[in-house]
Amino acid sequence: MTTIVAGSLNALVGSSVLTGVAADVVVIPTAAAFLGAAEVALEVALALEPFASAVEALMVVDRSGAEDESIARRIAQADLVVLADGSPLHAKAVWRDSSVGAALAAAASLVAIGAVATTLGTVMIDPRGGAPTIGLGYRRGVVLTTPAPPEQLSRTRRLYTGDESLVVVGARGVLVESAGVWRVTQADDVEVINATGGSSLY
């Protein structure tokens, strides 16, 4: 399995991580349901066209879509699955314990853009206050979060007591995971904090 986490669409397409990655790409705009999922899906698809022979948006925006077996099969067939940015709490609610969620968990190559990446781990940092909560468990090894006011990040550091590194990914940051090993490929806007409160980049 390969996972790419990008702080923004610009960071993703501006890095080299997509070069030669995939021919058949699907975009899942679930997290953007309240932002205009169709518009966000189109923006992502157009940005990814130079890297793929085919890009298709799968309009999973609610629980009924997440239970659509044909969409789950399409996700399983794709070379690369891209999760658009938006509300992680909405995405989590839609994907949890669903056919689409199972397909995302099993995806061989998965890209998460922006805040939606915070849903992927076994632990998720709640964007409403910075407290750790249960994530979807699709990927392991790190707990991902996004930049927040200093007092909120301080609260997150204090409350998170797990043994996986806490990683703050800003708009310019990019991380790649392969075979369970995470590395920072674009260090701008990325802060990696280990469980004991120290900092490191890997």
Task: For tokens 């999922």, name the residue.
Answer: 37
- Percentage of residues in the chain having pLDDT higher than 90: 84
Q: Is a pLDDT exceeding 50 seen at residue 199? A: no
- pLDDT band, residue 21 (cuts 50/70/90): low
Per-residue 3-state assignment (H helix, E strand, C coil) for the chain: CEEEEECCHHHHHHCCCCCCCCCEEEEECHHHCCCCHHHHHHHHHHHHHHHCCEEEECCCCCHHHHCCHHHHHHHHHCCEEEECCCCHHHHHHHHCCCHHHHHHHHCCEEEEEHHHHHHCCCEEECCCCCCEEECCCCCCCEEEECCCCHHHHHHHHHHCCCCCEEEEECCCCEEEEECCEEEEEECCCEEEECCCCCECCC
- Provide the token pair at 117: 């990446």
Q: Which of 146, 156, 77, 158 is nearest to 113 (CA)?
A: 146
Q: What is the pLDDT of residues 82-134, one digit of tens each?
A: 999 999 999 999 999 999 999 999 999 999 999 999 999 999 999 999 999 99
Q: What is the pLDDT of residues 170-187, one digit of tens each?
A: 999 999 999 889 999 988
Reported as half-sphere exposure (CB side, CA atoms, 13 A), residue 124 has a value of: 22
pTM of the entire predicted model: 0.94
- pLDDT band, residue 193 (cuts 50/70/90): confident
Q: Is a pLDDT exceeding 60 seen at residue 28? A: yes
User: Residue 186 is which amino acid?
Assistant: Q
Asked if 54 contacts 60 with a C-beta cutoff of 8 angstroms, the reply is no
Q: For the beta carbon of residue 81, count every other beta carbon within 10 angstroms.
A: 23
Asked if 181 contacts 158 with a C-beta cutoff of 8 angstroms, the reply is no
Domains, the chain, with CATH or none? 2-193 (3.40.50.880)
